[in-house]
Amino acid sequence: MGPAPFSFDFRPAQNSRVASHVCGLLPIEDGNLTAYFGCEHQMDFVSLRQSMVCLTPRGISDFLRAFEEAGGALRAEWTVLEATESAPCNPPESACAKLVDDNLQVRQNANGQLCVMQRQLAHVQGIIAQEAAQLGGYA
């Protein structure tokens, strides 16, 4: 099977406000899906996935066939990776999630305390204003 033509819009990670449109070919070489842009530029298609905004296959049947072949070629590798993923990889993720939750809880508590203090300050200012009005009435 030959390379499948495609085009996509992408945003580079270093400048997410800029979007570019690229056309190229997607051949499968040695089990890897490689994106070719013109004659001079090529990239591993997987490395582009974070920047892609919109992907448009031009020869839809060839394109889908290429993805099915790539998926078939990589499925065994993905299965092995999932099976060999070690348990120690998960605790840092859960620890990070706990830190994020704790940070959010601290912020919420701080905001709550700030609101209580602002109400108390407004109450004290009201009392001071009443006392000042009463003292002004005695003069």
Boundaries of every domain in the chain:
4-85, 89-138
Which positions ≥6 away from 16 have C-beta within 8 Å? none
Q: How many CA atoms lie within 13 A of 78 on its CB side?
A: 7
Token representation of residue 123: 């109450």
Per-residue pLDDT at 33: 76
pLDDT digit string (tens) for 39-82?
Answer: 777 777 777 766 666 666 666 666 677 777 777 777 777 788 77
Instruction: Tell me which CATH code domain 4-85 carries.
Output: 2.30.30
Per-residue pLDDT at 84: 74
- DSSP helix/strand/coil, 124: helix
